[in-house]
Amino acid sequence: MNKTQRFKRVARSKQPISTSEPDDDVHEARPSRRSKTLTIRVKPKSRPKSETKSNASPISDISLDRMTILSPQFYEIDALDLAPRLLGKLLRRDDVVLQITEVEAYRPNDSACHGRFGITARTAPVFGHGGHAYVYLCYGLHTMLNVVADKEGVGAAVLIRSCAPISGLDTIQQRRGQMTDKPVLLTGPGKVGQALGLSTEWSNHCLYAPGGLELLDGPEPEKILVGPRVGIEYAAPEHVNALWRFAIAGSPWISAPKNTLRPPDLLSIT
Q: Which residue ranges make up each domain of the chain?
A: 65-262
Summarize pLDDT for 136-188 with one digit per residue, the tens: 999 888 999 999 999 999 999 999 999 999 999 999 999 999 999 999 999 99
pLDDT of 64: 74
What gap in Å lies between CA 256 and CA 216, rounded to an integer?
A: 26
Could you give the percent of the chain with pLDDT greater than 70? 76
User: SS3 for 72?
Assistant: helix
Residue 27 has pLDDT above 90, yes or no: no
* 269 touches 2 (CB < 8 A): yes
Confidence at residue 65, expressed as pLDDT on a 0 to 100 scale: 73
For residue 186, give the nearest of 198, 172, 168, 202 by alpha carbon: 172
> What predicted TM-score, i.e. pTM, was given to this entire model?
0.78
Beta bridge partners of 95: none
Closest CA to 254 of 164, 176, 177: 164
pLDDT computed for residue 61 by the predictor: 60
- Topology of domain 65-262, per CATH? 3-methyladenine DNA Glycosylase; Chain A (3.10.300)
Lowest mean pLDDT among 50-59, 180-189, 193-202: 50-59
Asked whether residue 219 carries a pLDDT value surpassing 90, the answer given is yes
Q: Residue 62 — pLDDT band, cuts 50, 70, 90? A: confident
Kindly indicate the confidence band of residue 6, based on its pLDDT and cuts at 50, 70 and 90.
low
